[in-house]
Chain A
Amino acid sequence: MFRTAIRNLWSSPFGLSHSAPRVALAAVAVATALGFAGGSALAAPVRGGAANIAMIGEPQTLDPMASTADLVGIITQHVYELLYTFDANWNVTPMLAESMPAISKDGLVYTIPLRKGVKFHNGKEMTSDDVVASLKRWQDTAPRGKAVAKEIKSLEAKGPNTIVITLNRPYAPLLAHLALPNGFAAIMAKDSIATPLTQFIGTGPYMFKERKPDQYVQLVRYDGYSARKEPASGYAGKREAWIDELRFIPVPNANTRVEGSLSGQYQFADLLPVESYARLENAPNVKPVLTSPFGFPYLVLNTKQGPLTSVTLRQAVEAALNNADMMGAGFGDPKFYTTEASHYARNTPFYSTAGTENYGKGDAKKAATLVANGKYDGTPIKILTSQQYDFHYRMALVMAENLKAAGFKVDMQVVDWSTLIQRRNDPALWDIYITHSAVLPDPTLTPPQLGDGAPGWWSSPAKEAALSALNAEADPKKRGALWGSVQAVVFTEVPYIRVGYFNSVTARSPKLEGYVAMPWPFFWNTWLDK
Chain B
Amino acid sequence: MTSVATIPVIGAPSRSPSAIIVRKLFRRKLVLAGAAILVVVTLLALFAPWVTPYDPMAMKISDRIQSPRAAHWFGTDELGRDVFSRVVFGARYSLTIGALVVLISVTGGVLLGLTAGFFRRLDGPIMRLVDAMMSFPDILLAIALVAVLGTSMTNVILALAIVYTPRVARVVRASTLVVRELLFIEAARALGVSTWRILFIHILNNIASPILVQATFIFAYAVLAEAGLSFLGVGVPPDLPTWGTMIASGQQFAHQAIWLVVFPGVAIVLAALSLQMVGDGFRDLLDPKLRKAM
A59 close to chain B: CB less than 8 A: no
Main secondary structure of the interface of B (DSSP, over half): loop
Instruction: Type the 1/0 row for B18-35, where 1 means its CB is closer than 8 Å to any CB of A.
Output: 000000000000000000
Q: Are A414 and B253 in contact (CB under 8 A)?
A: no
Evaluate contact between B61 and A328: CB separation under 8 angstroms: yes
Minimum CB distance partner of B58 in chain A: A401
Task: Let me know if A255 and B238 touch, CB within 8 A.
Answer: no
Q: Are B252 and A329 in contact (CB under 8 A)?
A: no
Residue-wise, chain B 59-70 has the 8 Å CB interface mask toward A (1 for contact) of 101101100000
Q: Is B233 an interface residue (CB 8 A)?
A: yes
What does the 1/0 interface line of A172-212 toward B look like (CB < 8 Å)?
A: 00000000000000000000000000000000000000000
Q: Is A332 an interface residue (CB 8 A)?
A: yes
Does A47 make an interface contact (CB < 8 A)? no
Q: Which residues does chain A contribute within 8 Å of B79, judged by CB atoms?
A: 329, 394, 397-398
In the complex, the answer to whether B252 meets A397 with C-beta atoms within 8 Å is no
Do residues A397 and B59 form an inter-chain contact, with CB atoms below 8 A?
yes
B135, CB-defined interface residue at 8 Å: no
Q: Tell me if A400 is interfacial: C-beta within 8 Å of chain B.
A: yes
Nearest chain-A residue to B151 (Cβ)? A414
Query: A325 contacts the other chain (Cβ, under 8 Å)?
Result: yes
Within 8 A of B (CB), among A406-446: 412-414, 416
| Contact of B238 with A329 in the complex, beta carbons under 8 Å | no
Indicate if the CB atoms of B61 and A329 lie closer than 8 Å. yes
User: Is B121's beta carbon under 8 Å from chain A?
Assistant: no
Instruction: Report how many residues on chain B are interfacial, defined by Cβ distance under 8 Å.
Output: 19
Q: Which of A352-411 contact B (CB under 8 A)?
A: 387, 390, 393-394, 397-398, 400-401
User: Total number of A-B contacts with CB less than 8 angstroms?
Assistant: 53
Say yes or no: A325 contacts B239, CB within 8 Å. no
CB distance from B163 to the nearest CB of A (A): 23
B288 within 8 A of A: no
Residue B125, interface by CB 8 Å: no
- Beta-carbon contact of B252 and A255 below 8 Å: yes
Residues of chain A contacted by B59 (CB below 8 angstroms):
325, 329, 397-398, 401
Decide: A390 and B61 in contact? CB cutoff 8 A.
no
* Closest A residue, CB atoms, query B62: A328
A504 to chain B, nearest CB (A): 16
CB proximity of B212 to chain A, nearest CB, Å:
38
Instruction: Tell me, in angstroms, the Cα distance from A474 to B241 when the chains sit together.
Output: 54
Residues in A neighbouring B96, C-beta threshold 8 A: none
**What is the distance, in angstroms, from B182's C-beta to the closest C-beta of chain A?**
54
Given A275-B253, A275-B256, A390-B252, A332 contacting B238 (CB threshold 8 A): no
CB-CB nearest in chain B for A414? B238
Please tell me if A251 contacts chain B, counting CB pairs below 8 Å: no
Q: How far is the CA of A394 from the CA of B251 in the complex (A)?
A: 14
B252 adjacent to A416 (CB under 8 Å): no
CB pair B61 A387 closer than 8 Å? no
Contacts of B65 in A (CB 8 A): 275, 332
B258–chain A nearest beta-carbon distance, Å: 12
* Given contact pairs A329-B59, A401-B57, A412 touches B237 in the complex (Cβ within 8 A): yes
B187 close to A (CB within 8 Å): no
Chain B, residue nearest A257 (CB): B252
- CB of B78 within 8 Å of the partner chain: yes
Q: Are B238 and A393 in contact (CB under 8 A)?
A: yes
Closest CB of chain A to B100's CB: distance in Å? 22
Query: Which residues of B have CB within 8 Å of A307?
Result: none
A254 within 8 A of B: yes
Minimum CB–CB distance from A209 to chain B (whole Å) comes to 32
State the Cβ distance, B39 to closest chain A Cβ, in Å: 33
Q: Can you pick out 30 interface pairs between chain A and chain B where the beta carbons lie within 8 Å of each other? A: A253-B251, A253-B252, A255-B251, A255-B252, A255-B255, A273-B252, A276-B255, A279-B256, A325-B59, A325-B61, A328-B61, A329-B64, A329-B78, A329-B79, A332-B64, A332-B65, A332-B78, A387-B233, A393-B238, A394-B79, A397-B59, A397-B79, A397-B239, A398-B59, A398-B61, A401-B57, A401-B59, A412-B239, A414-B233, A414-B238
| Additional 19 contacts, C-beta under 8 A, given A273-B252, A416-B233 | A253-B251, A253-B252, A254-B252, A255-B252, A255-B255, A325-B61, A328-B62, A328-B64, A329-B79, A332-B65, A332-B78, A390-B252, A400-B239, A401-B57, A401-B59, A412-B239, A414-B233, A414-B238, A414-B239
